[in-house]
Structures are given as C-alpha cells and as structure tokens.
C-alpha cells in the first residue's frame, strides 16, 4: 500500500463525493425548504444525462451538450414542479413518496420510449478522454480530474448564491421557518418553483457529467439516489454545508473502504476470511456510518436550524 495509491484513492473519493454533492444539494434544499420527499430526483439526473447525450450528438460538442442540458433540465424540473408536485406540499410524506415513485416509473418508461432501453454512450472530447500524470508514475483520468474541478466551482457558486444573495437569504430563511417567510410577504410558491428548478439543474449537471463514465440508461438515477439519501441524512436535512460535508464523507468512506478494507483486514484475520468479509463490510460502510450519525446526532452533522 504505497502513498501514491492512497493519494490516488483519495482523489477518487473526492471525485465521487463531488458527484454526490451535486445531487445532494438539490435534494436537501427541496426536502428542507419545501418539506417534500422527492424520490424522482434521480430521474432528473437521468434526464440530464440523456439530454446532454442528445445535445452533444446534435451539436457535435460535449461541452455544448452539457451547457444546453443544464437549462433544459431546469425547464423539465420546473414543469414537474408546476404540473405534478405543487399539489403534494400539503399531503403527508407517504403520499409524496408514492407520487414521486410514480414519477420515477413515468420517466424511466418515457426515456425508454424515446431513446430505447439499451444504454447509450457519450464520448468525451479527446483532450479530456485520456489521462495525465499527477505525479511521476501516477496517471489519473483527465475527465475525473475535470469533475473535481467542476464540482468545486459549483460548490463555490452555490455557497455564494446561498450566503451572499437575496435569493439565498430567502432560501435559508425558508429552510429555517417556512411559515414566517410567507408571513413576511415572500412569494413562497415562486420560491419553491425556483428552488426545485435549481435542484433539478444541479441533478441534471451531475447526470450530464456522469454520462461519459457510467452507462446512460433508463433507471440510472435510482442507484445513485440511495447514496444521496445517505448523504443528506448524514449531513442534516436542509443544509447545503451538511450536504457538502456528507458527500465528501460518504465519497471518501465508500472509496477508501472498497480499496483498503480488504488488505487491512487481511493483516488482522486470515486472508480467505478477509476476502469474504472485506467486500461485504465495504459495501455496508456508508450505511454503518449513517447509523452511527443517526445514533449520536439524530439531526445530522449540520442540521438546518429549527424547522417548522
């Protein structure tokens, strides 16, 4: 286990964490401010991936494809909010879960009808498709390094938006006390639509940049959604900062667990036993982490202050 490998795996963890953050930021805002459990968040991620692939094919440029997919997913998100979700705010969480689960089925079928069931492939431009040497003897895929950069940029922008703008102030206020915000004359309905659209665009961005790494296929959003829920539970519902920390923690724990748990166990117990226990424990690690956080801090690491 060389230090170069540890560094590489740390980068992998960071890259995974950044992807999770893009998803978690939107989901936690929607959950925290609108008190809406949106299982269809993964579908918006899938829509983003498909739209980016389609736009990239149409325009011949990957970057343009991603750039066009962003506003397009925002529009899809706003449409979903206006048509389907608006009626659900007053209902209890079970109704919301059922309705948004229905949306998952709807989007998966819609995508299959339009693009077919087979996975589609987005190619990255040649400069991003290869790998470069971070250090001598340590090549790293350029595209993944790019994801880390994009993720950090978006985090900074989002942080600026939430802490430095009027809209951000309202979002924070909405997360703390929704009733008070509407009593102060803020158009909560418009705020909700904006927040949902923003969340959708972030999920779409995650999907668009995930496309070249993962297979773009119906149902691709559900696998990542589970981990995103773990992130927001660990981070604290409704908190952007919590989503950031939670995403990095989950990304690191999952990656480092998968990489080093088995060899570490092998030094403590017999190698065959480590072969069995290692992968099992590694795939449980983030859930164990979540259970521990729920036990010691049921509100998550950075809970949004007092919600009503």
Q: Which is nearest to 176 in space by CA: 26, 30, 33? A: 33
Cα 276 off chain centre by: 30
Q: Which residues, in sequence order, are bridge partners of residue 138?
A: 135
Q: Which stretch binds another protein (CB under 8 A): 11-19, 153-161, 175-183, 291-299?
A: 11-19
Q: Could you tell me the smallest distance in angstroms from the CB atom of residue 228 to another protein?
A: 13
- Assess 143 for contact with another protein (CB under 8 A): yes
Residue 241-280 contact track with another protein, rule CB under 8 A, x = bound: --------------x--xx---------------x---xx
Among 57, 67, 82, 112, binds another protein (CB under 8 A): 112
Query: Cα separation of 53 and 59, whole Å?
Result: 10
Beta carbon nearer to another protein, 13 or 238: 13
Q: Could you tell me the smallest distance in angstroms from the CB atom of residue 10 to another protein?
A: 10
Look-up: residue for tokens 């492939």? 121
Instruction: Read off φ and ψ for residue 159, nearest 5 degrees.
Output: -60, -45
- Assess 182 for contact with another protein (CB under 8 A): no
Cβ(70)–Cβ(202) under 8 Å?
no
Per the structure block, which two tokens stand in for 254?
Answer: 């999952």
Q: Could you tell me the smallest distance in angstroms from the CB atom of residue 119 to another protein?
A: 5
Per the structure block, which two tokens stand in for 138?
Answer: 């340590």
H-state helical runs in the chain: 3-34, 41-59, 62-80, 93-115, 126-129, 142-164, 166-176, 178-183, 188-210, 220-235, 240-268, 271-296
Q: Could you tell me the smallest distance in angstroms from the CB atom of residue 114 to another protein?
A: 14
Q: Could you tell me the smallest distance in angstroms from the CB atom of residue 7 to another protein?
A: 10
Q: Could you tell me the smallest distance in angstroms from the CB atom of residue 52 to another protein?
A: 16
Which residue ranges make up the site for another protein (CB under 8 A)?
2, 4-5, 8-9, 12, 15-16, 108, 112, 116-121, 129-131, 139, 141, 143-144, 212-215, 217-220, 223-224, 255, 258-259, 275, 279-280, 283
């Amino acid at each position: 286990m060389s230090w170069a490998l540890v560094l590489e795996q740390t980068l992998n963890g960071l890259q995974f964490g950044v992807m999770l953050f893009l998803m978690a930021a939107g989901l936690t805002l929607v959950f925290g401010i609108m008190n809406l459990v949106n299982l269809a968040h993964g579908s918006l991620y899938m829509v983003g991936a498909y739209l980016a692939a389609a736009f990239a094919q149409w325009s011949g440029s990957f970057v343009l494809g991603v750039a066009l997919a962003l506003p397009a997913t925002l529009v899809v998100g706003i449409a979903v909010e206006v048509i389907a979700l608006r009626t659900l705010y007053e209902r209890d969480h079970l109704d919301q879960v059922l309705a948004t689960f229905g949306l998952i089925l709807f989007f998966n079928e819609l995508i299959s009808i339009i693009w077919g069931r087979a996975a589609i492939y987005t190619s990255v431009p040649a400069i991003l498709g290869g790998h470069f040497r971070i250090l001598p003897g340590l090549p790293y895929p350029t595209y993944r390094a790019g994801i880390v950069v994009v993720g950090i940029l978006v985090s900074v922008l989002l942080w600026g938006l939430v802490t430095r703008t009027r809209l951000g102030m309202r979002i924070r206020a909405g997360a703390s006390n929704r009733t008070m915000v509407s009593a102060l004359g803020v158009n909560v309905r418009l705020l909700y639509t904006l927040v949902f659209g923003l969340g959708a665009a972030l999920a779409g961005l995650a999907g668009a940049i995930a496309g070249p790494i993962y297979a773009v296929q119906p149902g691709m959003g559900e696998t990542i959604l589970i981990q995103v829920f773990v992130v927001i539970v660990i981070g604290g519902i409704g908190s952007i900062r919590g989503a950031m920390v939670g995403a990095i923690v989950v990304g690191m724990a999952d990656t480092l667990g998968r990489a080093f748990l088995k060899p570490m166990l092998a030094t403590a117990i017999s190698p065959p036993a480590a072969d069995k226990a290692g992968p099992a424990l590694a795939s449980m690690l983030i859930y164990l982490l979540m259970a521990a956080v729920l036990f010691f801090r049921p509100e998550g690491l950075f809970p949004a202050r007092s919600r009503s």
